[in-house]
Amino acid sequence: MVNRSDIHYFGAGPAPLPTAVLENAAQVLLNYRDKGLGLCEISHRSPEANEILTNTKQALITLLDIPDDYDVLFLQSGGTGEFSATVYNLVSIWVEKQRAKIAAEVGDDEAEVLKRLRSVVDDELRLDYLVTGSWSLKASQEATRLVGAKHVNVALDARKSNDGKFGRIPAEDEWTLTPRARGGPAFVYFCDNETVDGVEFPAFPKSLEGDDAPLVCADMSSNFISRKVDVRKYAVIFGGAQKNIGSTGIAIVIMRKSLLPPTSKSASPDLLRALNLPVGPIVLDYPTISKNNSLYNTLPIFDVWVAGQVMDRLVNNYGAKKIGGQEEVSNEKARLIYETLDKYSDLYRVVPDKTARSRMNICFRVHGGDAEREKAFLAGAEKKGLLGLKGHRSVGGIRASNYNAVSLEGAKLLVSYLEEYAKAA
């Protein structure tokens, strides 16, 4: 029988969880707080469920120093669902702002308001996407599906400067963001860490800062709670939970309260339809989710509990350092692995450019990408209990996902195998 302690799992998601959390989860699944009911069986509107929700929110707020003027939402959409939700919600807010401006000029003439609004939407509605990998590409494609190619500005396609492949983030002066002089985009989207391609933004883009900065939406699914984040620079941050935070089943959204009623209003469904713009499903409507404390529909409280347990451990482990403590560990694990890969660069080739290497998803090829030799490399790793190293099916190769639950010991064991394999090759 293989023991859990004998295995070090580097899979990209669903990802490993702390053993102590899983042991507690096994207990609460059967009997939560001596109620004779498991956690999956209690009402999502019960006091116990609300307490779990509150505690999980607070743990995230503590770790990331989330300001009071931001809200934390839990949805069942996964990161992919948020590709759509961000478009539905932020476009609707943009349209309502334009409608209000026009109405202030022309008064109660609804036909004239609609006429001018159609022209503004047609000429000025733009969503900017920074495409640096497979997931930001999918997000831009979903935006195009929803609002049409005319309204989607791919301000950066990193493949164009990298021989048709993802692997670097070009300098910001090469990006073609919608000019702010024209009112700017409804929002700018980027994926902070590309799980498939091993690319991570080293820092927040300077061109998106400033008093007149556009709304910024960032997908942080695979590097959530792995490093410090200046939340105030973002309008919306979202991520699926199944990488660093918890089990598959929920997405977490951090958003400015100023984008929610009563401060901000969304366009009515009738208006959006009149403009040939999509009306989003109610379960992805941020105002509705916020108003109902994420309980508009049945929230999977067990998944929220798991996420809260994971984050509580980080709060307790790192104290005043908060997420900075985990960042130090994440950086050290990544440093050890990359240094070893670079040491044997004649054998191992790191895929992304050094300026954009992900700390979370370390992608490399062995023997120049020879398929049979890479199979042998993976087989040797499995014999040593190093699992989940196969690259994504779309790109192949090797991928070591260095999520929070991967221990420093596990990273060192991977380094030892890299050394051993290189010396025997």
Where residue 405 sits, what CATH number does that domain have?
Answer: 3.90.1150.10
- Give pLDDT tens digits for 53-63: 999 999 999 99
Burial of 322 (0-12, 13-18, 19+ CB in 10 A): middle
- Report the candidate in 140, 236, 253, 157 with the shortest Cα–Cα distance to residue 199: 157
Write the DSSP assignment of 329-380 as a string of letters: HHHHHHHHHHHHHHHTTTTEEESS-GGGB-SSEEEEEEGGG-HHHHHHHHHH
Residue 32 lies in a domain: no
Residue 310 has pLDDT above 80, yes or no: yes
What's the chain's length in residues?
425
299 and 365 assigned to the same domain = no
The contacts of residue 419 (CB under 8 Å, 6+ apart) are 340, 344
Residue 102 has a pLDDT of 97
Q: Which of 113, 100, 146 is nearest to 127 (CA)?
A: 146
Q: How far is it, in rounded angstroms, from Cα 241 to Cα 230?
A: 20
231 and 87 in a common domain: yes
| Band of pLDDT at residue 425, cut at 50, 70 and 90 | confident
- What's the pLDDT at 201? 98
**How far, in whole angstroms, is CA 335 from its chain's centroid?**
22
As a dihedral over the C-alpha atoms of residue 19, residue 24, residue 26, residue 29, rounded to 10 degrees, the angle is -140
Whether 125 and 266 map to the same domain: the answer is yes
| C-alpha torsion 24→25→29→31, nearest 10 | 20
Tell me the CATH number at 117: 3.40.640.10
The reply to whether omega before 202 is within 30° of 0 (cis) is: no
Q: Is the dihedral of CA 107, 113, 115, 120 positive or negative?
A: positive
How confident is the model over 312-344, as pLDDT tens digits? Answer: 999 999 999 999 999 999 999 999 999 999 999
407 found inside a domain: yes
Answer yes or no: do 265 and 398 share one domain. no
Output the pLDDT for position 77.
85
Q: Is the pLDDT of residue 382 over 80?
A: yes
pLDDT tens for 40-50 read 999 999 999 99
Contact assessment for residue 72 and residue 260, using Cβ atoms and an 8 Å cutoff? no
Whether 268 and 335 map to the same domain: the answer is no
pLDDT digits (tens, 9 = 90+) for 177-227: 999 876 789 999 999 999 999 999 999 999 999 888 999 999 999 999 999
Count of other CB atoms within 10 angstroms of residue 292: 12
**Full domain range(s) for residue 248:** 57-303
Does any domain span residue 312? no
Residue 10 lies in a domain: no
CA distance 243 to 87: 23
Contact 113, 99 (CB under 8 A): yes
Number of structural domains in the chain: 2
Closest CA to 240 of 277, 276, 285, 192: 192
The two beta strands, 199-200 and 193-194, are antiparallel
DSSP string, 91-110: HHHHHHHHHHHHHHHHTT-H
Q: Looking at residue 181, what is its pLDDT?
A: 74
Q: If pLDDT is split at 50, 70 and 90, which confidence band does 424 have?
A: very high
Q: Do 353 and 273 share a structural domain? A: no
Residue 283 resides in a domain: yes
Contact 215, 234 (CB under 8 A): no
- In this predicted structure, what is the pLDDT of residue 217? 97
What are φ and ψ of residue 352, in 5° steps? -75, 160
Maximum separation of any 2 CA atoms in the chain, in Å: 80
299/378 same-domain check: no
Tell whether 268 and 337 lie within a shared domain.
no
Asked if residue 365 and residue 249 are part of one domain, the reply reads: no
Rounded mean pLDDT of 12-16? 92
Looking at beta carbons, which pairs linking 337-343 to residues 24 or more positions away fall under 8 Å?
Answer: 337/362, 337/400, 337/402, 337/411, 337/414, 337/415, 337/418, 338/362, 340/415, 340/418, 340/419, 341/418, 343/422
Q: CA distances (Å), 154 to each of 122, 131, 416, in order? A: 17, 7, 42
pLDDT of residue 1: 80
The residue ranges of DSSP E strands in 196-311, in sequence order, are 199-200, 216-219, 236-240, 251-256
User: What's the pLDDT band for 100 if we cut at 50, 70, 90?
Assistant: very high
Look at residue 49 and tell me if it is in a domain.
Answer: no
Same domain, 150 and 291: yes
Residue pair 97/90 in contact (Cβ under 8 Å)? The answer is: no
Are residues 333 and 396 located together in one domain of the fold? yes
Of the chain, the percentage scoring pLDDT greater than 90 comes to 96
